[in-house]
Structure 1
Amino acid sequence: MADYGHDPTETVVPYAVFKSAGFSISFATETGKTPECDKKMLTGWTQKLLGANQRTLSLYNSLSSSAEFTQPLAWTSPDFSLDAYQLVFLPGGHEKGVRQVIDSISVHQQLAAYFPQTRKSCGGGKAVAAICHGVLGLSEAKGLDGRSVLYDVRTTALPGAMEQGIFWITRGVLGDYYKTYGAGSESVEAAVRKRLRDPKKQYKNSLSASPFIVTDETYNYVSGRFPPDAQLLAERAIELVKGNLKQGRMRAPISNLPF
């Protein structure tokens, strides 16, 4: 996670689902600083009109006092590695602070090393789940061939129409708050599409308010668009991990899950 700015729903709802499934969870920030989610989604009129619901607020209060959250790992530590984990989850959020993760060379290197292990034919038994801007960060990770790890993968992300729509609706009072890289920057959807081999076939979209996720056929990878998808996304990620265990692809029990 970034030190500040992730969407609270896309963070705490999966956390609660993973905890209920018995997963042991680790958070990671750049230097081990306790992260904070986007306050506009947690307090004030922005929360009431655009942000987290009461369930998320309650879950966030519990999360904020948990040992996992208050004592995160540091992804820049020489000893940090994703290899020990069965599932990597990347939450989203549009606040500009999340660029700390999206633009991090260290995170890109970690993800580039980890993602190939999610290929089902390799039998590595790893899995990745990402939502909203988390997909954008994942798409920035490149292999030795210079291509995104998502080059041959089916995925979704925050739809451009949704991103642009909420930006124009709120720009009079919130400015470019809903544009992570500033007014006039390309949408998350456009940026992710550019990194796919055949975006017309690989990028899956839905403008429905109902939960919508995309599960790839070749990799143990599942993606979502925005907060309403968070619950279903987490449940599907659990299915991927348990499916790997059932098929005997992993010799170790479910142990850790880094955010």
Structure 2
Amino acid sequence: MAPAPPKVLIPMSDYGHDPTETAIPYAAFKKAGFEVFFATENGSTPACDKKMLEGITQKLLGATKTAVEAYKQMSGTPEFRQPLSWSAADFTLDPYNLIFLPGGHDKGVQQVIDSPIIHKHLASYFPTTRKPSIRSVAAVCHGVMVLSKTDDANGKSIIHECITTALPTRFEQVAFWGTRAFLGDYYKTYGACSDNVEEFVYRLKSLGTQTLIYLQVRKRLDDPNTQYKNSLSMIPFVVQDENYNYISARFPADAQLLAETAVSLVESTIS
């Protein structure tokens, strides 16, 4: 009897995830023979950010034609149209070999990033990805924030000791200021004056000394100067932790490499 295929779960907000960061990995998982499931808060069919899929914003800033086509194919599948409910009483992450957290900067993604229910599930699941394990987690862009905002039993982020990356501050600021005149605060998930995904640094000067206070992803790491890995190159970039089956990436251009790396990791854990 052939072994059961690995199972992947993609938790999503009802609206707002980046289509490239969702559909490109989905296609890679299916190509690898994985069984893919989606989950939204109440089982509603999700929809990715329309600005990335159509109109002038798609042509100038959004998904490539390949990603748009991948999204169209994904959005027509039964698993996408009939997702699980991650708020259901019997919902659990236990059956899945991989939890994949896509990003997206539309304000709708706050539904997942700030969900105490998702945090509770991940707080239970993530410790079980410590090597050796048959469980893994992968996240890109704002998806990393879901993990950084999830506390363990000691009040620390579940990735506080992990090596990670996320959306670079410079990328976020260029996108925000470059489009603010016609898109307002679209590129800031929590509004124009909110913190950046990677970091927002307050510089406090007292008696001639300077103290840096990091917020968001960097803030939640034990030693951000050594644990946070960054690249401002357009070449695809992913980071794999040494102690946990955890992989992270920055933005849509990393989606294919992230998915391929996650596939390899999952396959290595079950072989």
Q: What's the TM-score once normalised by structure 1's chain length?
A: 0.93
Counterparts of 1:187 and 1:68, CA distance in 2: 33
- Separation (CA, whole Å) in 2 of partners of 1:228 and 1:14: 12
The Cα offsets for residues 160-213 of structure 1, whole Å up to 9 and x where unpaired, read as 011011100100000000000001111000110000000000000001111000
- Pairing 1:1-259 to 2, within 5 Å after superposition: 1-120=12-131, 123-190=132-199, 191-246=216-271
Unmatched 5+ stretches in structure 1 = 247-259
More strand by share: 2
Contact preservation (8 Å) 2:133, 2:245: no
Q: How many residues align?
A: 244
Deviations 1:78-114 (A, max 9, x none): 1100011000000000000000000000000001100
C-alpha distance in structure 1 between counterparts of 2:218 and 2:58, whole Å: 30
Task: Provide the rounded CA distance (Å) in 1 between the counterparts of 2:58 and 2:133.
Answer: 41
Question: What is the alpha-carbon distance in structure 2 between the residues aligned to residue 110 and residue 34 of structure 1?
Answer: 21
The one-letter code sitting in structure 2 at the alignment partner of 1:10 is E
Residue 184 of structure 1 aligns to which amino acid in structure 2?
C
Question: For 2:133 and 2:233, how far apart are their aligned partners in 1?
Answer: 34
Inter-partner Cα distance in structure 2 for 1:33 and 1:139? 26
Amino acid at match of 2:136: A
Of 152-161 and 56-65, deviating more is 56-65
Within 1, Cα distance between the matches of 2:264 and 2:182?
42
Give the whole-Å Cα distance in 2 for the aligned partners of 1:42 and 1:139: 28
Task: Give the SS at the match of 1:26.
Answer: strand
Q: Give the number of the structure with larger relative contact order, counting CA–CA contacts within 8 Å between residues 6 or more apart.
A: 1
Q: Secondary structure at the match of 2:37?
A: coil
Shift of 1:124: 3.1
Contact 2:163–2:227 (CA under 8 A) maintained in structure 1: yes
Provide the secondary structure at the position in 2 that maps to 1:137. helix
Q: In structure 1, what is the equivalent of residue 204 of structure 2?
A: none
Report SS of the residue matched to 1:222: strand
Choose 1 or 2 for highest CA Rg. 2
Per-residue CA deviations over 1:109-131 (Å, capped at 9, x if unaligned) read: 001100001100xx332100000
SS at match of 1:125: coil
Contact 2:17 2:106 in 1 (8 A): yes
CA distance in 2, matches of 1:164, 1:126: 34
Q: CA deviation at 1:61?
A: 1.0
Q: Percent identity?
A: 60
- TM value normalised by structure 2: 0.89
